[in-house]
Amino acid sequence: MEKLASALDTTHIKVLKGRPLLEVAQHLAACQAYIGHDSGISHLAAALGLKGLILWGETNPNIWRPRSPKMKLLEAGPALQHLKAEKVLEAFDSVLR
């Protein structure tokens, strides 16, 4: 996560790590878009109606993906840790358009 976070313009993007769930939900509610991985926070973002990009690993997306049509998956399978920040940012840019 640190590698991706270091590539972001923190003027408009906030990286939250290890924060209480209520605080995360409050920040998410004020966002225009979300980027994350297969996690409960991604489901929270989807439930709040955000558009976003989810970095998807090995779990079955047909079962576990958030059911929001506003969430796009970037599937990497077992190679998730090798996903290049540039590819993630390019995919996220397409979500924002």
The DSSP 8-state label assigned to residue 38 in this structure reads S
Contacts of the segment 83-88: beta carbons below 8 A, 24+ positions apart? 83/55, 85/3, 85/4, 85/7, 86/7, 88/4, 88/35, 88/53, 88/55
Per-residue pLDDT of the chain (97 residues; tens, 9 = 90+): 677 777 777 787 778 888 999 999 999 999 999 999 999 999 999 999 999 999 999 999 999 999 999 999 999 988 888 899 999 999 999 999 8
User: Structural domain boundaries of the chain?
Assistant: 2-8+33-96
pLDDT value at residue 14? 78
Q: What is the pTM of this model?
A: 0.81
pLDDT at residue number 33: 94
